[in-house]
């Protein structure tokens, strides 16, 4: 078995989700590579030290440049905020490391293009963590669409609703709240939440040709945690957009952090000529499926509990009927990345695949400013 020595950058939400995945993947999947938890990197020595101990990393670095200079690191995983993705990924590629990077790939398409160029010039394996693709019910949706079960697709409808920034006293910036700081995040719900919806949509239904968007910033000023001053809020708190896919289907996308009562309500529904499917993150193991070909008297929405051995990924886990959860999507992503290395068929989304989502986000934010339909830049 080949070893793959991991250098993890960031020890927050995603640092934990990914570390869990890297530790577990070899217990459940048959792989050619064994992950070695080689180093964890963060700026606070005490905090990253505690993280390394808890998750079993052998060593610690407090500067990502030192991590990249080490010869005993093969794979770098970027779990830091969006403003540092570009610099770290480009440097990691130049150092010849494989790079996995959290979503969104970057703050905008221009940054994303530099990252794609860097990994492709260096020829290093790369991947972006759009993990929702690898929730078994979502992967099953992909299989059904690819098999033609839906026929021609007419409609795509996606939402990602949260409610955690309604309080105007919530500051922006710094640890935990960098998502409210446009300089760090790049955008608000568009890059943070809609990017997930867009990635899934591109994967399931192909490219998006043009968009027409509106955004709103409900709380215009917030105290900034790093400067201590009240500063203008630059992110979009909410965004809704219409889209036309290249295959002719129509779409609506909506995201907000002001939908009181919703914590992470990611849903999509797809209506085709023969069938429709619907999925809801709050009930992530179920795929709703309506098939017009069913006998008329029995026709209705089926709720498929995606836990059988022949469902995507499920044969690797427990016995039929037993559910897995959110964290398993990350385990599946590592498994697919390693399978891609073994077979020389890179698992998607690569940096280049994820650039397409960035182009859609750019067009959405542009359209919100121009109040016009905007074309999405074509991915080369
Ligand atoms: N795939 C998903 O569903 C998902 C979910 C949440 C976050 N994300 C993405 O993951 C990334 C991290 O988000 P998070 O929620 O884990 O954030 P977080 O705030 O919980 O953690 C960020 C970590 O990065 C570290 N960090 C910041 N600047 C750094 C630097 N210069 N060098 C080294 N470490 C640095 C912080 O100390 C912290 O440990 C973001 O790009 C975010 O968009 C993806």
Predicted confidence band of residue 82 (pLDDT cuts 50, 70, 90): very high
Instruction: Evaluate whether 106 touches 85 at the Cβ level (below 8 Å).
Output: yes
Backbone angles phi, psi at 100, to 5 degrees: -110, 140
- The response to whether residue 84 sits with its C-beta less than 6 Å from ligand 1 reads yes
Q: Which residues contact 147 (CB under 8 A, 6 or more apart)?
A: none
What is the tens place of the pLDDT at every residue in 319-333?
A: 999 999 999 999 999
Predicted confidence band of residue 4 (pLDDT cuts 50, 70, 90): very high
The residue nearest atom 43 of ligand 1, judged by CA position, is: 103
Q: What is the mean pLDDT of residues 364-378?
A: 98
- The response to whether residue 129 sits with its C-beta less than 6 Å from ligand 1 reads yes
The residue nearest atom 26 of ligand 1, judged by CA position, is: 80
User: Nearest to residue 147, comparing CAs of 27, 293, 331?
Assistant: 293
Determine the distance separating the centroid of ligand 1 and the alpha carbon of 42, expressed in angstroms.
10
Determine the distance separating the centroid of ligand 1 and the alpha carbon of 40, expressed in angstroms.
13
Residue 316 bridge partners (DSSP): none
How high is the pLDDT of residue 211? Answer: 99
- The response to whether residue 82 sits with its C-beta less than 6 Å from ligand 1 reads yes
Predicted confidence band of residue 345 (pLDDT cuts 50, 70, 90): very high
Predicted confidence band of residue 312 (pLDDT cuts 50, 70, 90): very high
Q: What is the mean pLDDT of residues 350-370?
A: 98
Q: What is the mean pLDDT of residues 112-116?
A: 98
Return the H-helix or E-strand segment holding 17: helix 13-28
- The response to whether residue 10 sits with its C-beta less than 6 Å from ligand 1 reads yes
How high is the pLDDT of residue 351? Answer: 98
Closest ligand 1 atom to Cα of 192: 43
- The response to whether residue 50 sits with its C-beta less than 6 Å from ligand 1 reads no
How high is the pLDDT of residue 335? Answer: 98
How high is the pLDDT of residue 190? Answer: 98
Q: Which residues contact 328 (CB under 8 A, 6 or more apart)?
A: 135, 313, 317
Q: What is the mean pLDDT of residues 66-72?
A: 98
All structural domains of the chain with their residue ranges: 2-131, 133-375
- The response to whether residue 14 sits with its C-beta less than 6 Å from ligand 1 reads yes
How high is the pLDDT of residue 294? Answer: 97
How high is the pLDDT of residue 55? Answer: 98
Backbone angles phi, psi at 293, to 5 degrees: -80, -10
Percent of the chain with pLDDT over 90: 99
- The response to whether residue 42 sits with its C-beta less than 6 Å from ligand 1 reads yes
Domains 2-131 and 133-375 are alike in CATH topology: no
Q: Classify domain 2-131 at the CATH class level.
A: alpha beta
Classify domain 133-375 by CATH number.
Answer: 3.30.360.10
- The response to whether residue 9 sits with its C-beta less than 6 Å from ligand 1 reads yes
Determine the distance separating the centroid of ligand 1 and the alpha carbon of 96, expressed in angstroms.
23
What distance in Å separates the CA atoms of residue 304 and residue 18, rounded to the nearest whole number?
A: 28
- The response to whether residue 132 sits with its C-beta less than 6 Å from ligand 1 reads no
Determine the distance separating the centroid of ligand 1 and the alpha carbon of 175, expressed in angstroms.
9
Determine the distance separating the centroid of ligand 1 and the alpha carbon of 10, expressed in angstroms.
6
Determine the distance separating the centroid of ligand 1 and the alpha carbon of 76, expressed in angstroms.
14
What distance in Å separates the CA atoms of residue 220 and residue 229, rounded to the nearest whole number?
A: 14
The residue nearest atom 5 of ligand 1, judged by CA position, is: 14
Determine the distance separating the centroid of ligand 1 and the alpha carbon of 82, expressed in angstroms.
8
Structure tokens at 350: 């690569």
Determine the distance separating the centroid of ligand 1 and the alpha carbon of 12, expressed in angstroms.
6
Pocket test for ligand 1, best of 79, 103, 111, 186 (most atoms within 8 A of CB): 79
Q: What is the mean pLDDT of residues 281-299?
A: 97
Question: How far is it between the farthest Cα atoms of the chain?
Answer: 66
- The response to whether residue 256 sits with its C-beta less than 6 Å from ligand 1 reads no
């Amino acid at each position: 078995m080949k070893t793959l020595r991991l250098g993890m950058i960031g020890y927050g939400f995603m640092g934990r989700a990914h570390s869990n995945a890297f530790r577990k993947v070899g217990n459940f999947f048959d792989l050619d590579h064994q992950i070695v938890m080689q180093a964890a990197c963060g700026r606070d020595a005490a905090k990253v030290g505690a993280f390394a101990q808890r998750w079993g990393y052998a060593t610690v670095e407090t500067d990502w440049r030192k991590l990249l200079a080490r010869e005993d690191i093969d794979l770098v995983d970027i779990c830091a905020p969006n403003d540092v993705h570009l610099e770290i990924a480009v440097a990691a590629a130049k150092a010849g490391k494989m790079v996995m990077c959290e979503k969104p790939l970057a703050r905008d398409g221009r940054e994303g293009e530099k990252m794609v160029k860097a990994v492709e010039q260096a020829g290093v394996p790369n991947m972006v963590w759009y993990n929702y693709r690898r929730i078994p019910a979502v992967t099953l949706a992909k299989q059904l669409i690819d098999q033609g079960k839906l026929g021609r697709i007419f409609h795509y409808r996606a939402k990602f609703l949260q409610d955690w920034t309604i309080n105007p006293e919530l500051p922006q910036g710094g640890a935990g709240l960098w998502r409210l700081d446009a300089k760090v995040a790049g955008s608000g719900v568009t890059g943070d939440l809609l990017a997930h919806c867009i990635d899934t949509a591109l994967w399931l239904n192909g490219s998006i040709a043009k968009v027409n968007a509106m955004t709103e910033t409900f709380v215009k000023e917030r105290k900034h945690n790093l400067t201590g001053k009240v500063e203008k809020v630059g992110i979009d708190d909410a965004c809704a957009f219409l889209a036309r896919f290249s295959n002719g289907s129509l779409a609506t996308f909506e995201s907000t952090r002001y939908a009181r009562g919703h914590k992470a309500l990611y849903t999509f529904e797809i209506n085709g000529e023969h069938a429709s499917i619907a999925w809801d993150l709050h009930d992530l193991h179920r795929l709703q499926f309506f098939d017009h070909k069913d006998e008329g008297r029995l026709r209705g929405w089926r709720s498929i509990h995606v836990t059988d051995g022949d469902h995507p990924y499920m044969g690797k886990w427990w016995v039929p009927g037993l559910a897995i959860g959110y964290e398993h999507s990350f385990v599946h992503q590592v498994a697919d990345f390693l399978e891609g290395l073994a077979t020389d068929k890179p698992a998607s989304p690569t940096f280049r695949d994820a650039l397409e989502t960035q182009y859609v986000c750019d067009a959405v934010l542009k359209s919100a400013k121009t109040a016009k339909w905007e074309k999405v830049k074509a991915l080369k």
